[in-house]
Chains A and B, each alone.
Chain A
Amino acid sequence: MNQFTFEGKQRTVLLGGMVLGLVCLVLTFFIDPLEGSHHARFWSNLLHNTVFFTGIAFISLFVMCAFTTAYAGWFVGMKRLWEAMSLFLIVGLVLLLIIVAGLWGHLHHLYHWNVEGVSTLGHENYDRIIAGKSGFLNKYWYTFGTIIFVGVWYMFARKIRSLSLQEDTSGTDAYTHFKKIKFWSAFLLPIGAFTSAAMIWQWVMSIDAHWYSTMYAWYSSASWFVSATAFTILMLIYLKGKGYYQNISDEHLHDFGKFLFAFSVFWTYLWFSQYMLIWYSNNGEETIYFRQRLDSYPVLFYGNLVMNFVLPFLILMRNSTKRKHGTLILVSLLTFFGHWWDFFYMIKPGVVINAGGHADHGAGDHSDGHEVLGAAADHGEHASSFMAGYTLPGLLELGIFIGFLSLFIYFVFMKLKEASLVPENDPYMKESVHHHV
């Protein structure tokens, strides 16, 4: 079976998941333990999930291009799945535009650098450090980057997808389509690498605007790639169970298992390097980031390490566990959730600080912020006050996660349905079928 059918039952389940997610997202607009924060729970959840799933879409495009450029053949049999995932960028762009709109309309205060007068000398909100970064941390760059960069990624995804589909119908032994795909793939690699780094700084790192880390882009890209690999493994096993992708054997899953293992370790390497360099240099401006997280969010901090390093490392170390579906499914679920958790850990503590930080700056437009000031300005007090949706993901956050995941899978299924699951005329198709590790 090379033609995917989107069954009514799958559609119902996924739509149900989306409705659940939407309801939970709307509820977080009203149920927010952080009062006077301009619905920070709602906006940070939207940002968190959007960045996570858009990143997965981007990284599947990026890795597909990297593999194509490296003349890899083994993955070609399931390439359509990555093509489908990469096209989700358009949905990600639309969702990001909501956050951009919130930025312009001052509907949310996720970013300290977007506060009125923060980089105007003499203004009561003036912040010297942020003023120094205002050339990059401003709403113009944020908007430009989101629209142009994500737009460019999507254009590449579409171009590669359409060439791949044309190859199905009019591919010849001259491999003209493949050569064109290779050209566009190699073209994307430098562009994608630099622009994705710039965007992760804008979207996530700039929540902690005083802080910076040169490891950050690598770190989040590794997170995206592990999540994308985990998602791919789960999808392939599911689709194989449905009778599709019979040419994807344990050999291919073994290679995906190796990627999951290797990039979990790579992620940990970056996670640790980021921590150690800052710990070692002991620069207050930088260490505050980890101090807040270790003091007030220990479960987030250590849970992250256990789910994304210790367990995958120990479980996937053996040869056989990378080939058995049971262990692969277990670790994929664990790391997929784990890296969602990782983005939660990157975003939420900064959001809490910013919600209090605005009150601290005494912006005249919200006088209700003074009660928040007492709680948020003193981080020590936060250690004892648990806030669902900030300290740990609450039930609503899990609902939103399910909603976004359903949206992502729904979109992937819609795109899988549009074309043959197997690119028959790809020059590497035969190699992929005979793949052996």
Chain B
Amino acid sequence: MKEGNTTVLFGLYDDEVDLLNAVKKANEAHLDILDVYSPFPVHGLDPLLGLEESRLHIAGFVYGSLGTMTAFGVMTWVFTRDWPIIFGGKPYWSVPAFIPITFELTVLFAAIGMVVTFYTICGLGPGVKAEVLDDRITDDKFCIAYDVSNMASDKISELKSFFSGTGASSVSTKVI
């Protein structure tokens, strides 16, 4: 996210029910919401915002399968080709003994892969400074934000009256 070229008008709500009703009204009035922020996932918000199901889990499946194949492949290679050792009288290629490690690597690959993918998509990472509109949207406030960078002043006052009409407890502007 590049800084300093988007002017955001945002209203804060005290309750998620107010937020849901406000989003419904915004949809009816065809107001183009930039984003909605909440301290926790709000039930029923995704379909109202028209968000598609995340495709992150597809990536997760791919990473998981990769983990399965890595673990199973490496163990097979090590114990049959590279350094065959007999453990407890079992055959070199002892599939049941490989299963727990295969499972663990599947989980590890899926978990780490999904975290890295998610951070990359969201532009997050070590040293990235996150722009927060208001500190309390990570605590107890629910926020609707509009992009007003290139907006006429009558449109902006329409948005302000939308906020007061839907019960926002405060309305502010911030450049991010």
**Distance in angstroms between the alpha carbons of A279 and B100 in the assembled complex:** 14
Q: Does A30 reach chain B (CB closer than 8 Å)?
A: no
Residues of the A chain whose Cβ atoms lie less than 8 Å from the Cβ of B96? 272, 275-276, 279-280
- Does A319 belong to the interface (CB within 8 Å)? yes
B88 with A319: CB separation less than 8 A: no
Task: Check if B89 sits within 8 Å of A282, measured CB to CB.
Answer: yes
Question: A310 interface residue, CB < 8 Å from B?
Answer: no
State whether the Cβ of B129 lies closer than 8 Å to any Cβ in chain A. Answer: no
Q: Which residue from chain B places its CB closest to the CB of A276 in the assembled complex? A: B96
Interface of A is mostly: helix
Q: Nearest chain-B residue to A277 (Cβ)?
A: B96
Decide if A436 touches B61 in the complex (CB within 8 Å): no
A319/B57 in contact, CB under 8 A: yes
B43-58 contact mask (Cβ, 8 Å, vs A): 1 or 0: 1100000000100010
Tell me whether A12 is interfacial, beta carbon within 8 Å.
no
How many residues from A make CB contacts under 8 Å with B?
Answer: 11
Convert A275-309 into 0s and 1s, putting 1 for each residue whose CB lies closer than 8 angstroms to a CB of B: 11001101000000000000000000000000000
Judging by beta carbons under 8 Å apart, are A319 and B53 in contact? yes
Asked whether any CB of chain A lies closer than 8 Å to the CB of B132, the reply is: no
Known: A280-B88, A282-B88, A282-B89. Contact between A320 and B53, CB under 8 A? yes
Cβ distance B42 to chain A, nearest Cβ, rounded Å: 10
Across the interface, which residues of A come within 8 angstroms of B90, CB to CB? Answer: 282
Contact B99 A272, beta carbon cutoff 8 Å? yes
Task: List residues 318-365 of chain A with CB under 8 A from any CB of chain B.
Answer: 318-320
A436 in contact with B43 given A276-B99, A280-B96, A282-B89 (CB within 8 Å): yes
B119-154 interface with A by 8 A CB criterion: none
* B40-77 near A? 1/0 per residue, CB < 8 Å: 00011000000001000100010000000000000000
Q: Which of chain B's residues has its CB closest to A319's CB?
A: B53
CA distance A282 to B90 in the complex (A): 9
Is A317 at the interface (CB under 8 A from chain B)? yes
Instruction: Check B29 for interface membership: any CB of A closer than 8 A.
Output: no
Nearest residue in B to A317 (C-beta to C-beta)? B61
- Cβ contacts under 8 Å, A279 to chain B: 96
Chain A residues near B43 (CB-CB < 8 A)? 436
Complex Cα spacing A282 to B88, Å: 9
CB distance from B55 to the nearest CB of A (A): 11
Give the docked Cα–Cα distance between A317 and B57 (Å). Answer: 10
Partner of A436, one of B44, B57, B97: B44
Closest CB of chain A to B1's CB: distance in Å? Answer: 28
Which residues does chain B contribute within 8 Å of A318, judged by CB atoms? 57
Q: How far is the CB of B95 from chain A (nearest CB, A)?
A: 10
List residues of B (74-122) whose CB comes within 8 Å of A's CBs: 88-90, 96-97, 99-100
User: How far in angstroms is the closest Cβ of chain A from B14?
Assistant: 21
**Residues of B close to A280: CB separation below 8 A:** 88, 96-97
Contacts of B44 in A (CB 8 A): 436
Q: How far does the alpha carbon of A276 sit from the alpha carbon of B89 in the complex, in Å?
A: 15
Min CB gap A29→B, angstroms: 40
Q: Collect the chain B residues with CB atoms within 8 Å of residue A320's CB.
A: 53
Return chain A residues, CB-CB under 8 Å to B61: 317
B39 CB to nearest A CB, Å: 18
Residue of chain B at shortest CB distance from A320: B53
The CA-CA distance from A436 to B16 in the complex, in Å, is: 15
Question: Which residues of A from 388 to 437 have beta carbons under 8 Å from B?
Answer: 436
B-side contacts of A319, CB under 8 Å: 53, 57
A275 contacts across to B, CB distance below 8 A: 96
Q: Of all chain A residues, which has the CB nearest B43? A: A436
- Residue on B nearest A314 in the bound complex, by CB: B61
Taking CB atoms, residues of chain A closer than 8 Å to B53 are 319-320
Q: How far is the CA of A213 from the CA of B117 in the complex (A)?
A: 43
What 0/1 pattern do residues 211 to 252 of A give for CB contact below 8 A with B? 000000000000000000000000000000000000000000
CB distance from A182 to the nearest CB of B (A): 26
Which residues of the partner chain B approach A272 to less than 8 Å between Cβ atoms?
Answer: 96, 99
Docked pose: A318 CA to B97 CA in angstroms: 29
User: Assuming A279-B96, A282-B89, A436-B44, what are 7 further A-B pairs, CB within 8 angstroms?
Assistant: A272-B96, A276-B96, A276-B100, A280-B88, A282-B88, A282-B90, A436-B43
21 example contacts (A-B, Cβ-Cβ < 8 A) are as follows: A272-B96, A272-B99, A275-B96, A276-B96, A276-B97, A276-B99, A276-B100, A279-B96, A280-B88, A280-B96, A280-B97, A282-B88, A282-B89, A282-B90, A317-B61, A318-B57, A319-B53, A319-B57, A320-B53, A436-B43, A436-B44
Binding site for A on B (CB under 8 A): 43-44, 53, 57, 61, 88-90, 96-97, 99-100
User: Which residues in A have some Cβ–Cβ distance to B below 8 Å?
Assistant: 272, 275-276, 279-280, 282, 317-320, 436
A-B pairs, top 5 by smallest CB distance, nearest first, are: A436-B43, A276-B96, A279-B96, A319-B53, A272-B99
